[in-house]
Structure 1
Amino acid sequence: MTDLLFHRSSALSPPPPTMAPVSVRDILAFHKIDRAMYDKLVAHGTAPEVARNIVALFMWLELIGINVVNHIVAHPDPYILLRLAAEAQTILDCICRESPPRTGAESGLAIPLTASLVAEPLDLRFFHCNRDVAVRGVAETLEGVGAVIFHDGLNAALAEYEAALQAAEGRARNWREKKPALPAELARPYVVRSAPPPEDARSMFITFSKGYPLSREEIVEYFTEKWGNCVERVMMEKTTAPTAAPVYGRIVFTSEAFIGLVLNGNQVVKFTIRGRQLWARKYQQRRK
């Protein structure tokens, strides 16, 4: 991946008024390293949703001064990506867990490669203490440029266009030939999604142990305490009898990316809130 290093030479910023707006192709070209890492992780058996989270975490680490990406590109060990990806998974588990990591070996030695990239001490306790910032940073990456970077259709269109462009340039040595037109989906300006996706895409179905439900307030408080203002609303089962307790409900998050971080490749996850169990999975609307 060393030939992709030049894409990190400058940051993408809003172009001056005299310049054309940043296009989808520009975003894909700038983030070729990130997409290449994602593809390699998937090729080694990592679930796509987990690979997305790992690469998005790498990108967030880069923003706070822990340059994992350049280290991977410059390192001669071809397996350095997999080793740092394993540490990234450990960090993701840490920022999603309820209790902080224990002091000592569990915290200090769990991410030695990542910690070696900064001069100051770094361990899992740092990420757990700042988990609200980390989760929001990763979620914003996934909702922003991640929507382009991890879009298989757009990447396939770019690969096809670049192949056609290279072929045309090769033939142009012998005779004049027009360059292939840039596909419309790659030429359009890159715009950060302003409106959130529909509620169904941002929802998780939740169930409780029978007789041990949780209130809306307790659920909102739990996730807000962990990750900040990430819950839009909570809906509970409407019971017929006044004394009957709800056994299921639905959480609507402010961003779809929170669901991918909660599940991180799992079908169902369990939380313990005030001594009671809550099981959560991605919400799927029933077809009529």
Structure 2
Amino acid sequence: MEGLCATQEQLHTFHSIDREVFSRMVINLMRDPAECLIIVAAWLWLEQMGYPNIIVFMPSLSDAVVDLLANEMALALSSLTTTTAALPSFMPGTSALMSRTISADLFHRNRFTAVAGIKSFLTTVCSRAFSDILQSICPLARNGSGQLVIPGFPHPVFGNLTVSSSASRGRNGNVLVPPPTTEVWGWDPNSSGASEDDKTLFLTFSRGFPVTKEEVTELFTRKYGEGSVVSVLMQENVAAAGGGDQQQPLFARMVMRSVVVVDEVLNGERIAKFRINGKHIWARKYERREQAAAPTPPPV
């Protein structure tokens, strides 16, 4: 298990540039710590998704330019809080540094992938690598459990964030709770790291046009590839359509292989419409309150 541990020193060394940039943002630029955590996590997520690493250039940039880049990212992240189409907000500073065009629309079109990925970097990297910096700027913001309380969390999009400078270490005060190594160093959008809810779609059907589980599986497998559908749970205990003997489910819950596939299905829209055998299917992101009592779907 020791091979899967990372000492605080190793973590700080690996993320030394990230720590320097975060420190400049919260101390020199006096930006909101919660916002800065999310911004750095978003930059790390972009790098993991194949975009150039721009953090590595920031130590040589002026505070004014770093502030500009942070403002661009903050604006782009605001598109994650709305279900309406984002404005094509060009990010000139970020694009110039990457030598690649990027806009806020990227985050809107990949909303659920972005949320899951940024959340992962927040909890597995930023909360650990920046804990001492956060403690130095929020020395009195410690709750009874020894964890820092960061104003701005729980966040409406990214949820809660636990930051501890002592509880997460071993007896020698140096070893972190042993996570899988990949959790500390990066994030795989196709891994099982995202929760089942993150990867779940809510489907609705038209009354009088019954859709079967097999049709749902066939449709989405054909469009998004073999293995894209993990499981489908059709509505249970349904009333017969039109007073007849045949029961017709009006909704279903479908778990996809990854949150990336969820974004592919929705394509930046709140609701996506599909058709199979002359019958319509509407898909939207599943939210826990929509079917709180539903059991876990069986594998397809």
Q: Structure 1-normalised TM-score?
A: 0.49
Q: Structure 2-normalised TM-score?
A: 0.47
